[in-house]
Each structure stands twice: as C-alpha cells, then as structure tokens.
A = this chain, B = another copy of it.
Amino acid sequence: LSLAEPTTAPGAQFLAEIREQPAALSRLVEHDAEIARIAAIMRDRNRRLVRMVGHGSSDNAASYGIYAFGLLPRWTAMRDSITLTVHYATPLDMSGSTVIGLSQSGRTPDVLEYVKGARAAGAFTVAITNDPSSKLARAAEATIPLAAEPERAVAATKTYVNTLAALALLAAHVAGRGSEVAEGIRRTSELVADAIPNLERATAKLALSFSYTGRMFVIGRGVEFATAREIALKLLETCRIAAEPLTATDLAHGPVAALDPLFPVWAIASHDGTLPTVQEAATRTRKMGASLVASGTAADRIKGAAFTVPVPTPEPRLLSPLVSVVPGQLFAAALARGRGLDADAPHGLAKVTLAR
C-alpha cells in the first residue's frame, strides 16, 4: 500500500507543467467554436482597436498579440496603459475598441478594474483567464477559458503558452483563418511534445555553463519579443538572474555598452523578416566579448554562438513563439535546480499576485 504524495522535490511542479504544455494546447483548441463566436462579435461591431492589459507573463503574451492581430486581420493591437484610466481616472472613448483582459487567476486587481471601466466606456470586453468563474471573467462581456488546468508552480508556463494560442486563434477567426490556425496549433502541440526530451538534455548542459551568471540580456524582435520577455522573466523569478529583455535593435541603442565576457546574451532567432536584425545584434554582442546563446527556429543562422538550441518550425510561422519559449523555460528549470532554488515557489512571490 503506497501512501506516497505526488512528488514535492523543489521545481518538480514547474518542470511537470512545462511538459504538460502540448496537452494544454490541445485542450485550448477544443474551445475553437467559442473563440470564433467572440471574433464574430468583434467583426460585426467593428471593434478594430484591440487594447490588451495584463502583468507579468500575461503582459508578455500581449506583446505577441500585437503581431497576431497585426499580421492576421491587420488590425492595430496595443498593450494599453492601465494607469491612465485606473489610477489617473481619465475618461477615454472606447466605443471603437475591443479590450482583452489577461490574467491567469482572473483576480489581478488593476486589470479587473480596467476592464470594468472599459466596459462602462463602451468597449467590447473579453477576458482570457484560466479561471472562467473568476471576477475578471464575470466582469467581461465574453470569456476565453485558457483550459490549461490548474497551474500550481508560481512561475507561469502552460498558461503563458495557452494565452499565446488563444490570442492567435482569436485574431485568426477575426481574419477568417480560424481553421488554418486551429490546425496549426494542433500540429504545434505535437512538435513541442516531440522536441521536449532533446531540449531537456540540451538545456541541462547549458545550465552547467551558466551556473554563476548574474546578468543576462535576452533579445528577440517581432513575434519573438514576447519570447524574449518571457524567458527573461523566468530567469528573474526562478534563477535570480538580472535578465533584461530587449528588442534586437534596442540592444544597439545603449545597453550593448554594459556587455562583457561575464554578461552573456540569449538571442531568439526566427525565420522571418527580423532575422537580419538579430544577426546584427549577435555580431555586436560578440564584439563586446560576451558569450551568446542562440535559440529559436533560425538558431543555426546565428554565427559564432557559444551554444545553439534550435527548435522545430511550426506552420503558420506566426506560431513560432509557442515553441521557442520552451528552451528558455527548461533552461530556467535546470538552472534553478542546479542553484538549489525552488522554481515552484520562489521567495517573495505568491501564485496569485494581488499587488495594486
């Protein structure tokens, strides 16, 4: 008779949830019809300015939403200021806007308050949350459930990836390309499942080389800027690395001056129009003597990288960030374990952040 509890080794939950991501993506796609109905409302009411609000990983996903809506229906999407309406009480006309409130818990106070205000100001409001019974879901006119099942590690993984997928699918339905992108997410889920074992081995080796790293830049551009932001956040919260995300181009506008051989750069390179900017940033990095990790679907196109962690290329390519974040998550898991830090419950954090 076994009375064994589920494993409680430090970081076990975080790693388990990274491995659950393919299954979580498949569950999200089951909500395709609901997402299509929400997209139809956005089109019918002509709510073409998409305002996204969230914090932490949710805000990182919003960086991806800018491209999902920009590339698919060619609508303008933005990460809106919460402060302007919530803290400065500025009345804005939102009658032409769709507002998307992003919160894993559905309880982030200022996101909730923003969405309530936006609805009163005439916006069509949508909640994307892992808790469809949350206050945020009740405050919004429509809800997309993340369907990631409970996420217990404090650092988000599967809810982040499902938020990307939800935004891509919503934007795709607005553009009349829902079935193509739904099918793409299903195939991407399989790609990720197949890639994880090799990525676990590759990132464990990588973690050994960066055991003592205290500072890092993570660079990406376009759709992969969200990935850069999310990898940097995982390194900050689980490994206590001062990891800062930058667009490939912003690196050159000042921050490159801080680099040295003990200040490495992680570059995410994808097969798209931004690749030359990432290659140029990699050259600048090498000139400063900093070591370089190259990941992403075009990792092998970055010359002189000390480490290369390629990932498979999904179709449509807009879905690359669903794959390219995984090496960063696994690296964070391995490095936290190596440093004796508990990635499941980092010091100073709680799963539901109720900061104002």
The yes or no answer to A202 lying at the interface (CB within 8 A) is no
> What is the distance, in angstroms, from A300's C-beta to the closest C-beta of chain B?
20
> What is the distance, in angstroms, from A71's C-beta to the closest C-beta of chain B?
6
The reply to whether B55 and A76 form a contact with Cβ atoms under 8 Å apart is no
The reply to whether A260 and B240 form a contact with Cβ atoms under 8 Å apart is yes
Contact (A240, B221) CB under 8 Å given A49-B49, A215-B215, A356-B280: no
Contact for A87 among B93, B242, B273, B347, CB less than 8 A: B273
Q: Which of A2-10, A34-42, A136-144, A251-259 contacts its partner?
A: A251-259
Chain A 20-75 interface residues, beta-carbon cutoff 8 Å to B: 49, 55-57, 59, 66-67, 70-71, 74
Contact for A254 among B49, B110, B254, B349, CB less than 8 A: B349
The yes or no answer to A348 lying at the interface (CB within 8 A) is yes
How many chain copies does the complex carry? 2
The reply to whether B56 and A81 form a contact with Cβ atoms under 8 Å apart is no
Residues of chain B contacted by A59 (CB below 8 angstroms): 250, 253
Residues of chain B contacted by A78 (CB below 8 angstroms): 78, 80
Chain A 76-120 interface residues, beta-carbon cutoff 8 Å to B: 76, 78, 80-84, 87-93, 110
The reply to whether A242 and B258 form a contact with Cβ atoms under 8 Å apart is yes
The reply to whether B280 and A347 form a contact with Cβ atoms under 8 Å apart is no
Q: In the complex the two chains form, what is the Cα distance from A275 to B259 in whole Å?
A: 34
The reply to whether A242 and B215 form a contact with Cβ atoms under 8 Å apart is yes
The yes or no answer to A244 lying at the interface (CB within 8 A) is yes
The reply to whether B221 and A233 form a contact with Cβ atoms under 8 Å apart is no
The yes or no answer to A134 lying at the interface (CB within 8 A) is no
Residues of chain B contacted by A66 (CB below 8 angstroms): 81, 84
Which residues of A pack against B, CB within 8 Å? Answer: 49, 55-57, 59, 66-67, 70-71, 74, 76, 78, 80-84, 87-93, 110, 155, 214-215, 221-222, 225, 233, 236-238, 240-242, 244, 247, 249-260, 263, 272-274, 276-277, 280-281, 284, 287-288, 346-349, 353, 355-356
Chain B residue with the shortest CB-CB distance to A288: B348
Q: In the complex the two chains form, what is the Cα distance from A228 to B172 in whole Å?
A: 36
Contact for A257 among B236, B274, B284, B288, CB less than 8 A: B236
Q: In the complex the two chains form, what is the Cα distance from A242 to B84 in whole Å?
A: 29
> What is the distance, in angstroms, from A47's C-beta to the closest C-beta of chain B?
14
The reply to whether B355 and A55 form a contact with Cβ atoms under 8 Å apart is no
Residues of chain B contacted by A87 (CB below 8 angstroms): 221-222, 272-274, 277
Residues of chain B contacted by A57 (CB below 8 angstroms): 253-254
Known: A244-B244, A249-B355; 7 extra A-B contacts, CB below 8 A, are A49-B49, A83-B221, A88-B272, A236-B254, A236-B255, A237-B255, A256-B349
